[in-house]
């Protein structure tokens, strides 16, 4: 499957937040992606999800931890 063509994504480096990498009571499988140039936007979206869906506190420490967990993929 060519995601760039099927989803209309630009080629290049993308950052990925994959909630499924971490155990949770909800068995959450949410994946959020953004072009590498929008890394801060992705961290904001991931933090919002972590707070609203998993009960985390919206702190600078949470955002730092999320930033460290992001994966980078080439599309």
Neighbours of 6 (CB within 10 A): 8
**Can you give the pLDDT at residue 24?**
80
**Can you give the pLDDT at residue 12?**
95
**Can you give the pLDDT at residue 2?**
80
Q: Give this prediction's pTM.
A: 0.89
Q: In what order do the strands lie in the sheet with 13-18?
A: 31-35, 13-18, 71-74
Neighbours of 19 (CB within 10 A): 19
Regions of the chain where pLDDT drops below 70: none
């Amino acid at each position: 499957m060519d995601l760039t063509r099927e989803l209309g994504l630009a080629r290049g480096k993308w950052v990925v937040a994959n909630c499924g990498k971490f155990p949770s009571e909800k068995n959450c499988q949410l994946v959020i992606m953004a072009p590498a140039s929008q890394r801060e936007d992705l961290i904001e979206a991931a933090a919002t999800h972590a707070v609203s869906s998993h009960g985390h506190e919206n702190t600078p420490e949470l955002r730092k931890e999320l930033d460290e967990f992001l994966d980078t993929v080439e599309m």
